[in-house]
Amino acid sequence: MPLSFIHTADLHLGRGLDHFPDNSLEIYEHLLKTIETTAIKNNIDFILFAGDIFNSLDVDISIKKRFLDLIKNLGKHNIEIFYACGNHDYFQNKFYKPFLNERNFNIFPEHWQSFERNEAVIHGYSFNKAAFKKKMLQDYTPATTDKTNIFCFHTNISEISSRHENYAPSSIQEFEKFPPNSFFGLGHIHQHNLIKEGKQTILYPGSPIPTRIIETGEKGFYLVKQNSDETFEKIFIKSGTEIAEITLDITGIEDFLEIDDIIKENMDKYTDGKNLETTIPAYLSFKITLTGKLSPELKKELVKNISENYFEREMEGVYVMDNTRSMTSPESIAEEKGLFEAMVKTYYNMEMDEVELDKNIAELLEYSGDFNFDKAKDDALLILYSMLKGDK
């Protein structure tokens, strides 16, 4: 019977999902049930959990219980688990003790270890601390075998562009020394990324649920089957949780409530289109990016309402980002001389490293894929100008 398994990583169980605030535990339960059902239905051999399965070692006991239930249910069907700890869920015996009591649960230590099975040898290692910087591939060569080599570990490949920390760093060149009949089931990067395929496959499955608002698009995990020619067939299984991304040009809009209507219309259009093509995700949120040019008055009103979370209050599961520009340019403001000319001069000379940021804002910007300092300066200048003109 051909070798088959599931590869997943970066579930971050126990993390609060800001874009699904009322459904976090429910979403994690749904994900674990989807993994379990897929595993049993396809009669797989094992599951690779490639790190950051838990968001920390201090998670709610309820989510640990759900994961233990998954292990036990899979054990009834003789499905093994191979677990590599990452930077969020690094190895600590006390945390993993309930899982280690189950005969089908295998966890890798902080050094390379191999588990030999009928069809394959599964190799891996775990982090033993959060900031794990050791280059684990550099001096490692697995023993030669005729069996398929399956690797499971958490790593940051230097050639892959990401916002993630450079833990357990590796390079694509280091993978080339391994035998061709190898599957590398990796974790750490949250966007799924097939780096290499064929007899030697290198794959990041990505996080199966969006842990941050920037993680848009379809999410899931991989069902992998080895073909007779030793290549790997990869089937992407959707998790049922998604943040859809919509960009709207609202140039010409004159009233704020028109923006409200346009957003709702496009959300409905998205779900109607999804319904025709495929199943609507069980948990769907939206990231709406507004673009175009607005009057100074409408721009000011839009920024104010976004800062007061208007859209999140009025529309469940919606995050709105403002990328619009005001029709009033900095140059036209400077033409008014005096205070306004001085404001524009300060605006042009300001650099981001000169701005003292609130700690929470700095942390938010670290994970934002959309922040533009020049646009933020534009917004601040135009809102200040609008307020001062209004005071006059």
Give percent of the chain above pLDDT 90: 61
- Structural domain tally of the chain? 2
Q: What pLDDT sits at residue 339?
A: 75
Sign of the dihedral defined by the CA atoms of residues 265, 17, 208, 291, in that order? positive
pLDDT score of 369 more than 60: no
pLDDT of residue 107 exceeding 70: yes
Q: What pLDDT score does 391 carry? A: 46
**57 and 71 belong to one structural domain:** yes
Helices and strands: H and E segment counts in the chain:
11, 19
220 strand-pairing partners: 238
Q: What is the pLDDT of residues 42-89, one digit of tens each?
A: 999 999 999 999 999 999 999 999 999 999 999 999 999 999 999 999
Q: How many CB atoms lie within 10 A of CB 243?
A: 25
Q: What are the structure tokens assigned to 268, written together?
A: 């409905």
pLDDT, one tens digit per residue, over 277-304 is 667 889 999 999 999 999 888 988 998 8
Asked if 219 and 210 touch (Cβ cutoff 8 Å), the reply is yes
Q: For the chain, how far is it from start to end, CA to CA, in angstroms? A: 81
Percentage of residues in the chain with pLDDT exceeding 70?
90
Specify the pTM: 0.85
Tokens representing 367 are 């994970």
Q: Which of 239, 260, 295 is the last residue of a domain?
A: 239
- Same domain membership, residue 297 and residue 193: no
Angle at 279 between CA 273 and CA 281, to 5 degrees: 95
pLDDT of res. 381? 75
The residue that leads in pLDDT, 145 or 347, is 145
Q: Which two three-digit tokens encode residue 228?
A: 């007779």
Residue 146, judged by CB atoms within 10 A of its CB (0-12, 13-18, 19+), counts as exposed
DSSP class of 196: E
Could you tell me the pLDDT band of residue 347, with boundaries at 50, 70 and 90?
confident
- The CATH number linked to 132 is 3.60.21.10
Q: Are residues 174 and 160 in the same domain?
A: yes
Mean pLDDT of 350-379: 66
**Which residues lie closer than 8 Å to 124 by C-beta, 6 or more apart?**
82, 84, 108, 112, 113, 151, 152, 153
Written as one string, the DSSP assignment of 98-137 is HHHTSTTEEE--SS-EEEE-SSEEEEE---SSSS----SS
State the pLDDT confidence band at 267, using cuts at 50, 70 and 90: very high
Say yes or no: 220 and 319 in one domain: no
Return the number of other C-beta atoms located less than 10 Å from residue 199's C-beta: 17
Domain stop point among 206, 239, 272: 239
Q: Are residues 321 and 186 in the same domain?
A: no
Domain extent at residue 270: 242-391
Return the pLDDT at 33. 98
Averaged pLDDT for residues 332-342 = 73
Q: How far apart are CA 163 and CA 211, in angstroms?
A: 13
- Residue 363, pLDDT above cutoff 90: no
More confident residue, 69 or 337: 69
Reported as a single tens digit per residue, the pLDDT across 182-234 is 999 999 999 999 999 988 999 999 999 999 888 999 999 999 999 988 899 99
pLDDT of residue 90: 96
